[in-house]
């Protein structure tokens, strides 16, 4: 059998094919250039994930150091409870802090831990000299002494009818945790320390006045 060889394409017929290939190549090259330009622009204008600004921890609210610290247990006991401690009252810890400038007292704060005598417990609970009522736990304050610490479930906390004094009675141990704080006085004025009124009738000299004592400072 004799096969016939197809005639070669003439130059005129191959020219359109070369032109189409050239156009495809040019189109591909142009597309590549456009894509490359878009990538560069994206990277230049923030294509990478933005960096989170550094977070600075807030500065601790450091309490100003007191200008005066008193640790005279019996004196603080008298100022807190308006009575002298008996021989059975064991003052375990006592601290009064004062912040002042010159002759003025800006604020004060005291902490007291006592093993109370039966007389002190009666004075605070049964006679209720300060009009104590049930209250929430003593708020945690910055700079509270390490020895003034207890679990909320272990104590019964009560608050004075007036002022800021709070007293926590330990449920299983003979312990009292007491604290109070307040503002001071202006220059030229003396800090008022009120005393319970003395009854006129000597037969009831051992009883407390009907009104509760003012705020203890």
pLDDT band for position 136 (cuts 50, 70, 90): confident
- pLDDT score recorded for residue 16: 61
User: Could you report the per-residue pLDDT of 67-98, keeping only the tens digit for each?
Assistant: 889 999 999 999 999 999 999 999 999 999 99
- Give, in order, the Cα–Cα distances in Å from 48 to each of 59, 117, 147, 191, 192: 32, 73, 54, 66, 68
- Give, in order, the Cα–Cα distances in Å from 42 to each of 8, 26, 51, 212: 51, 24, 16, 77
User: Could you report the per-residue pLDDT of 2-40, keeping only the tens digit for each?
Assistant: 445 455 555 555 566 666 677 666 677 767 676 666 656
Angle, CA 101 vertex, CA 193 and CA 147 arms, to 5°: 65
- Give, in order, the Cα–Cα distances in Å from 187 to each of 4, 102, 108, 138, 175: 127, 8, 15, 31, 38
Sign of the C-alpha dihedral computed for residues 141, 145, 146 and 150 taken in this order: negative
pLDDT band for position 137 (cuts 50, 70, 90): confident
CA dihedral 180, 122, 149, 145 (to 10 degrees): 40
């Amino acid at each position: 059998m004799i096969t016939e060889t197809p005639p070669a394409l003439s130059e005129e017929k191959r020219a359109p094919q070369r032109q189409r290939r050239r156009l495809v190549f040019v189109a591909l090259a142009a597309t590549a250039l456009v894509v490359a330009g878009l990538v560069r622009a994206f990277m230049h204008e923030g294509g990478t994930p933005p960096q989170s600004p550094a977070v600075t921890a807030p500065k601790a609210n450091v309490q100003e150091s007191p200008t005066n610290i008193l640790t005279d247990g019996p004196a603080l006991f008298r100022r807190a409870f308006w009575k002298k401690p008996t021989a059975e009252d064991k003052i375990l810890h006592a601290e009064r802090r004062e912040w002042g400038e010159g002759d003025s007292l800006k604020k004060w704060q005291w902490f007291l831990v006592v093993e109370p005598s039966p007389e002190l417990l009666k004075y605070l609970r049964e006679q209720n000299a300060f009009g104590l009522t049930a209250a929430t736990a003593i708020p945690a304050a910055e700079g509270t002494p390490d020895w003034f610490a207890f679990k909320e479930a272990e104590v019964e906390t009560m608050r004075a009818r007036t002022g800021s004094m709070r007293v926590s009675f330990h449920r299983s141990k003979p312990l009292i945790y007491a604290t109070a704080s307040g503002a001071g006085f202006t220059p030229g004025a003396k800090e008022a320390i009120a005393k319970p009124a003395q009854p006129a009738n000597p037969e009831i000299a051992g009883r407390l006045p009907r009104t509760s004592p003012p705020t203890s400072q």
